[in-house]
Amino acid sequence: MSHNCAYVRQHYQVPAEVGRRVIAYGKPGVILADRGHYIGVVLDEDPKKRISNYHPTHEMQYGEMAETLPLKEWLVLPFKHDWEDLEWNREAREDLVRVWAATRSQAKYKAYERLQDYCHSIRAMLHFKVRRA
């Protein structure tokens, strides 16, 4: 979802938004994803920086906006499209994938995981193009 936690803010009356510091079950972290009824949080102590789902009101304390995010947002363009195609090609715009990852290669793999049903093999990643959002 790309609504930046609008449903959670409205329904649960909490200040949830991507980039906000939180304390989830006593552990500090940052909100990095809107997951519908849940918020996606990366805990500071997690060395792999995985996004985990948390309920917005259950043992959750909200803080200030984070100065830096532990993961970066990436745009991944699969299936032999070029960045210029986004201007005129509706199919390229529909295929564009946004992911949060620490590195460019992790972003490519996360996009592949989402698109596995459309890829014949992992070699499809060789044609993916990646840039910062």
Sign of CA dihedral 25, 72, 90, 3: positive
pLDDT tens-digit series, residues 36-80: 999 999 999 988 888 899 999 999 999 999 888 878 889 999 988
The helix (run of H) or strand (run of E) holding residue 27 is strand 27-35
Q: Which domains, ranges and CATH numbers included, belong to the chain? A: 6-65 (2.30.30), 72-132 (no CATH)
pLDDT tens-digit series, residues 81-95: 899 999 999 999 999
In angstroms, the CA 77 to CA 87 distance is: 13
Q: Establish how many alpha carbons lie within 13 A of residue 45's alpha carbon, considering only the half-sphere containing its beta carbon.
A: 7
Tokens of 80: 């032999």
The helix (run of H) or strand (run of E) holding residue 73 is strand 72-77
* pTM assigned to the model: 0.65
